Amino acid sequence: MKRLKISIFVILTFSFLFPLCAEAKSENWYFVPTSDHSRPQGVLDEITLASLNSCYIGKDEKVVYLTFDIGYINENVIAIKDILKKQKVPAAFFILGHVAKTESTLLKEMVTDGHTICNHTYSHKDMSKIKDETTFLNELARLEQEYKKTNGYDISKYYRPPAGQFSKENLQFAKNGGYTTVFWSVAYADWDNNRQPNEKVALAKLMGRLHNGAVILLHPTSKTNAAILETFIQNLKADGYRFGDVHELTIK
């Protein structure tokens, strides 16, 4: 009887422990901004990210990468596209399913202008809650298929988790699907159109957080971003920065 009780205890213990061990840890991407233009440390280090075909920062040289997360279209998106074209600056646009489905003309113009269209998932769900690879990759494939059907192009194999929510398991899933996960090392609170930051304050934040190899995350629907982007680009050019293409981030 004593042995039976011990066996039951062991079985119950393992049944509770193994699901906890198997469950991937959900994390939110973040970095600690610096005030001296040094390169910030992210929640995962560069070596760990590289092993998972992921990145948040480029090489330690005077180059920056403009990236935009785009969930819908408004006049600010058009203004930003025009500024990028005028300044001859490439950018990566991480799009959602609604944009792929309804904005064919605009997306084709972006490709013609030299921009890269990337995967921000079809429906902007919390991907860190997905625990199996098939379900995870199906969400990315749904956007791939919509973009191909509507625009005639293959989407570029760069993935950004909605709201920066991820798990290491997710990053491995994306890698297995041929994707590079692209986080960021410069950003500010620009996403709420009802609470747009002051233009001078926003520009000062971006300039103050700048560093070599910066991957800059902006939301193109932002009125503030549309107002300050050209000045921001001109300031960076004057400081000797080059605007890199997102494809450079995969070059070892």
Give residue 3's pLDDT: 47
Tokens standing for 76? 């600010």
pLDDT surpasses 70 at 93: yes
> Is 124 assigned a catalytic role?
no
> Is 154 assigned a catalytic role?
no
pLDDT in tens, 101-149: 999 999 999 999 999 999 999 999 999 999 999 999 999 999 999 999 9
Using CA atoms, how far apart are residues 182 and 94, in angstroms rounded to an integer? 10
Using CA atoms, how far apart are residues 224 and 203, in angstroms rounded to an integer? 9
Q: In the chain, what are the domain boundaries?
A: 29-250
Give residue 9's pLDDT: 39
Please tell me the CATH code under which domain 29-250 is placed.
Answer: 3.20.20.370
Listed in order, strand segments (DSSP E) in the chain are 27-28, 54-55, 63-70, 91-95, 116-119, 158-159, 165-166, 180-182, 214-218, 242-243
Residues 6 or more apart in contact with residue 67 via CB below 8 angstroms: 91, 92, 93, 94, 118, 160, 182, 184, 215, 216, 217, 218, 246
pLDDT in tens, 4-40: 343 433 333 333 343 433 456 899 999 998 989 999 9
**Active-site residue, from 36, 37, 69, 245:** 69
Give residue 24's pLDDT: 62
pLDDT in tens, 189-229: 999 999 999 999 999 999 999 999 999 999 999 999 999 99
Say what the pTM is.
0.90
Q: Read off φ and ψ for residue 178, nearest 5 degrees.
A: 85, 15
| pLDDT bucket at 2, cuts 50 / 70 / 90 | very low
Give residue 1's pLDDT: 46
H-type alpha helices, 88-130: 97-102, 104-112
**Active-site residue, from 37, 126, 219, 245:** 219
